[in-house]
A = this chain, B = another copy of it.
């Protein structure tokens, strides 16, 4: 747990972005955006505005005004509609101006190839530090599916903006209504939009964020590269880093993917020596089933990596013939409370079973994250 939660106040440079985006896409569990697009976006901003300072949640002053920013929509569309640096900053500013507050720190609401780098872009452009943490420790498809919801933090007021210049501000009665109204706007805006919400004070951020996510992403991304350079096993290295295990290895034999109600939904099959694994996803991988047995399910992480290179494979990039390894890794322990299971458990997504954890019924003793 040490690497993930130790306060690390340092700078993110252009040279860190490839590793950071790669690691973020690992935690993105198939969603959260393509790491290559995310890296390009952040490179542009960091080249223009300089490096971004990371601040651990523990270092936040009580009167901090922490503003998360993210991309919302279907990853299948996100890869074709890269937002501009200016749009990302404008979305943060729209919320701040509406509320007449001055942001002191930006934050990531989820880990993902794009959603971990969007806040870096805004931080560079607005000259603000970025919290080394995120609201999930992974990615989830819906807006209310964040640890701040479980801490009673409201998803709104929120801003939402598109690349054409349309901007909205929403105040909703609960976080599920924020998802409904923001999703419908996102769809009309063309299936992707930039959002800024879950404004937090220092104590709220300390309580509700997963600490150290960006450092962990960078570490993960670097380790994959280093192990590969050493002709080692990058897949095993990721499993080790996250305290997880390899569930399955094989070749993608089928992918059924549709962009519907603003999400990339579908399933994929991976045929290997141990049988045929089915992956079911809604932006993120939610359930892994083999021969009728659920091996792992949400809220634990289901991660698909290229078997040779260890590069994360997002749901929109899954394709026939790809040789992949599927890993399970434990989610932040807060995701296993009863309230959390109601918010993100298999039944919420329409699967008629309880969560299946990567290390059986209980968390792995001393397991990472």
Contacts and interface: CB of A to CB of B under 8 A. Distances in A.
A185 interface: yes
A102 interface: no
Contact of A166 (B173, B188, B189): B173
A98 interface: yes
Contact of A180 (B167, B172, B180, B188): B188
Contacts of A188: 180-181, 184
Nearest to A170: B168
A340 interface: no
A189 B178 CA distance: 11
Interface residues of A, number: 19
A187 interface: yes
Interface string A29-57: 00000000000000000000000000000
Contacts of A177: 164, 166
A98 to B, nearest CB: 6
A165 interface: yes
A73 to B, nearest CB: 14
Quickly give the copy total for this chain: 2
Contacts of A184: 184-185, 187-188
Nearest to A94: B171
Nearest to A173: B165
Contact of A168 (B165, B166, B168, B173): B168
A184 to B, nearest CB: 4
Query: Helix, strand, loop or mixed for chain A's interface?
Result: mixed
A175 to B, nearest CB: 12
A167 B169 CA distance: 8
Interface in A178-222: 180-181, 184-185, 187-189
Contacts of A171: 166-168
Contacts of A189: 181
A173 B171 CA distance: 21
A172 B181 contact: no
A166 B185 contact: no
A162 to B, nearest CB: 9
A164 B173 CA distance: 7
A180 to B, nearest CB: 5
Given A165-B173, A167-B171, A180-B188, 11 more contacts: A98-B98, A164-B173, A164-B177, A165-B172, A166-B171, A166-B177, A166-B181, A168-B168, A168-B171, A181-B185, A184-B184
Contacts of A187: 184
A155 to B, nearest CB: 12
A170 B181 CA distance: 12
Nearest to A161: B171
Contacts of A172: 165-167
A190 to B, nearest CB: 11
Nearest to A188: B184
Nearest to A158: B168
A261 to B, nearest CB: 11
A195 to B, nearest CB: 13
A181 B164 contact: no
A181 B187 CA distance: 10
26 contacts: A98-B98, A98-B169, A164-B177, A165-B172, A165-B173, A166-B170, A166-B171, A166-B172, A166-B177, A166-B181, A167-B170, A167-B171, A167-B172, A168-B169, A168-B170, A168-B171, A168-B181, A169-B169, A169-B170, A180-B188, A181-B185, A181-B188, A181-B189, A184-B185, A184-B188, A185-B185
A160 to B, nearest CB: 9
